[in-house]
Structure 1
């Protein structure tokens, strides 16, 4: 280690030593930071709506989650839209198999 430091200039070696010490100090969290273990035990009693971001109570949030889970996953589509989607998927498949075909 001393051979490596003696080969380097004085300013470089001092910078390396100070840089190592600064890195160890910067790795500590700020003193006002709450530890994660404490945050995990905290009970959250308020929430935000996933739809519009309004503040909700725990009961309102549970009701909203139940409503969101009970509604259908995909809304009904018109037959024209379904046909267009099917044709686009077919076009993508053909372009994957035969890329030089001008579709």
Structure 2
């Protein structure tokens, strides 16, 4: 009886050692390849020093020169004055106020 238990304990120990070895080796197997960027990828340091001389329009996607792009960005930065009817503005304000009140007082039904 003692030999059977000893043999089973040794088999269990072998199984644990082999499986742990396989897990450790398989985890290190492809890890060196995963950390490297693809060879055709241009490094970020080189891309930062590159001078951009053409761009695409954010509106329709056509190509623009640098001057046209700067002019378009300046036009987009200007905020036009609001052209909303004052009654509609008041309705929007009241709806936002109602929504806020419902967060604090959900039991109110108005």
Q: Same fold (TM over 0.5)?
A: yes
> How much does 1:12 deviate?
5.3
What are the ranges of 5 or more consecutive residues in structure 1 without an aligned counterpart? 1-5
CA distance in 1: counterparts of 2:82 and 2:60, whole angstroms: 20
Moved over 3 A (4+): none
Q: Which has the larger radius of gyration?
A: 2
TM-score, length-normalised on structure 1?
0.77
> How much does 1:36 deviate?
1.0
- Counterpart of 2:83 in structure 1 is 76
What are the ranges of 5 or more consecutive residues in structure 2 without an aligned counterpart? 1-13
Which of 86, 101, 105 is matched with 1:98 structurally? 105
Alignment of 1:5-44 (within 5 A): 8=16, 10=18, 13-44=21-52
The CA deviation string for residues 36-90 of structure 1, in whole angstroms up to 9 with x for no partner, is: 1111111111111122222211111011111122342x53211231121011022
- Counterpart of 1:85 in structure 2 is 92
- Counterpart of 2:5 in structure 1 is none
Corresponding residue pairs, total: 98
